[in-house]
Amino acid sequence: MEIREIREHKKRFLALLLLGDEQESMIDRYLERGTMYVLDDGGIRGECVVTDEGNGVLEIKNIAVKPESQGKGYGRAMIEFLVQKYRGRYAALQAGTGDSPLTVPFYETCGFVRAGRIRNYFTDQYDHPIWEGGVRLTDLIYFRRELGEREI
Ligand SMILES: CC(C)(COP(=O)(O)OP(=O)(O)OC[C@H]1O[C@@H](n2cnc3c(N)ncnc32)[C@H](O)[C@@H]1OP(=O)(O)O)[C@@H](O)C(=O)NCCC(=O)NCCS
């Protein structure tokens, strides 16, 4: 298994990006300035995009594992990769997600705790209703995992 950075032509992974964030115009807001990684294990299994949000916060803007490869530890592997890679450089890893039964348990199992909420984010920012796990997403929930002391 290998996780590698993608610097060019990030949109070739658009199908995966749309799995993590279903509106392309929203992806366009962070893809270029974001750092993208793909997880390869005999083929591409997943991707994630992180951005520097200032104040020592690294944010996961997009994370997705192909449907047939979900539940096999690849999502957790990407989180642990980010924690190892950015520990010492950032104070915390942050992720915003809908209040969905499909993603909240994932972040909680991966050691994140709830750290805030933006009310009506999905209803205000997206041009169509977003449904996930039978729930219509409204608020954005922030999850946070501390990365320890910064060395810089
Ligand atoms: C969310 C997602 C990235 C998780 O990746 P994954 O490879 O399936 O997750 P993992 O197999 O690494 O799971 C890690 C842990 O989270 C738990 N978990 C993951 N999804 C869960 C769910 N829906 N309910 C309960 N637990 C869940 C797993 O049980 C596992 O726990 P364990 O290690 O103790 O067994 C993946 O399901 C996905 O791509 N979903 C669609 C896109 C998406 O919603 N992205 C997030 C946008 S914020």
Q: Which residue has the tokens 């050691």?
A: 111
**pLDDT at residue number 148:** 83
Residue 65 Cα, ligand 1 centroid: separation in angstroms? Answer: 8
SS (H, E, C) 65-124: ECHHHCCCCHHHHHHHHHHHHHECCECEEEEEEECCCCCHHHHHHCCCEEEEEECCHHHH
Task: Specify the pLDDT at position 150.
Answer: 75
Contacts of 85 (CB under 8 A, 6+ apart): none
d(CA 11, CA 40): 17
Residue of 78, 109, 126 to test ligand 1 pocket, by largest number of atoms within 8 Å of CB: 109
Best residue among 45, 74, 106 to mutate for probing ligand 1, ranked by most atoms within 8 Å of CB: 106
Domains and CATH numbers, the chain: 2-146 (3.40.630.30)
Pocket of ligand 1 (CB under 6 A): 19-20, 63-65, 70-76, 97, 102-103, 105-106, 109
Distance (angstroms) between ligand 1 centre and the Cα of 103 equals: 6
User: Residue 149: its pLDDT value, please?
Assistant: 75
Q: How many CB atoms are closer than 10 A to CB 1?
A: 11
Tell me, in angstroms, the distance from the centre of ligand 1 to residue 43's CA: 19
Q: What is the pLDDT along the chain (152 residues), one digit of tens a residue?
A: 999 999 999 999 999 999 999 999 999 999 999 999 999 999 999 999 999 999 999 999 999 999 999 999 999 999 999 999 999 999 999 999 999 999 999 999 999 999 999 999 999 999 999 999 999 999 999 999 999 877 65
Q: How far apart are CA 104 and CA 97, in angstroms?
A: 8
Atom 10 of ligand 1, residue of closest alpha carbon: 73
CA neighbours closer than 13 Å in the CB half-sphere of residue 58: 24
